[in-house]
């Protein structure tokens, strides 16, 4: 996975890890482990709601870790689970595509403060996947192709 055109993922990931170390009063590894557990047992929406709640109470929670990274991590964690369906990724490509093609759904906000936007997106993807007889991540891949 990884459809970004800027190729800044490795730099961004390193920066997030560096800023969220125990030396900086944070424990990124433990927080990621907890997030993965929520995603694998309760699903992607619950995991994203956890991130939103933590970010609302502490703006520096997962400092510099944006919603696209968060939903990628959550997607991979749910994919590794047999208990919940794989949750799709929400990033700028998807937000732009929905803005161009899905006015009736309303705008999607790419922010770690909007669990409702992510929930609307995941519910829409699940509905379309069911109608098409495919998995939500396959619908997501069609959007990323931008054909």
User: How does pLDDT run across 37-80, given as a tens digit for each residue?
Assistant: 999 999 999 999 999 999 999 888 888 888 888 999 999 999 99
Secondary structure letter of residue 24 according to DSSP: G
pLDDT at 130 over 90: yes
pLDDT tens digits, residue range 73-89? 999 999 999 999 999 99
Q: Angle at Cα 112 formed by Cα 109 and Cα 107, nearest 5°?
A: 5
Measured distance CA(128)–CA(132) in Å, rounded: 6
The end-to-end CA distance of the chain, in Å, is 17
pLDDT at 146 over 90: no
Q: What is the pTM of this model?
A: 0.85
């Amino acid at each position: 996975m990884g459809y970004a055109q800027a190729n800044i993922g490795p730099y961004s990931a390193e920066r997030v890890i560096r800023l969220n170390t125990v030396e900086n009063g944070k424990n990124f590894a433990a927080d990621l482990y907890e997030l993965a557990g929520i995603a694998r047992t309760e699903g992607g929406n619950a995991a994203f709601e956890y991130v939103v709640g933590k970010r609302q109470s502490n703006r520096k929670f997962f400092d510099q870790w944006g919603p696209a990274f968060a939903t990628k991590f959550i997607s991979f964690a749910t994919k590794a689970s047999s208990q919940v369906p794989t949750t799709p990724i929400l990033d700028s490509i998807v937000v732009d595509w929905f803005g161009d093609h899905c006015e009736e759904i309303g705008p999607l906000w790419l922010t770690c403060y909007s669990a409702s936007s992510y929930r609307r997106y995941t519910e829409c993807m699940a509905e379309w996947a069911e109608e098409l007889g495919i998995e939500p991540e396959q619908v997501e891949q069609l959007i990323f192709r931008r054909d």
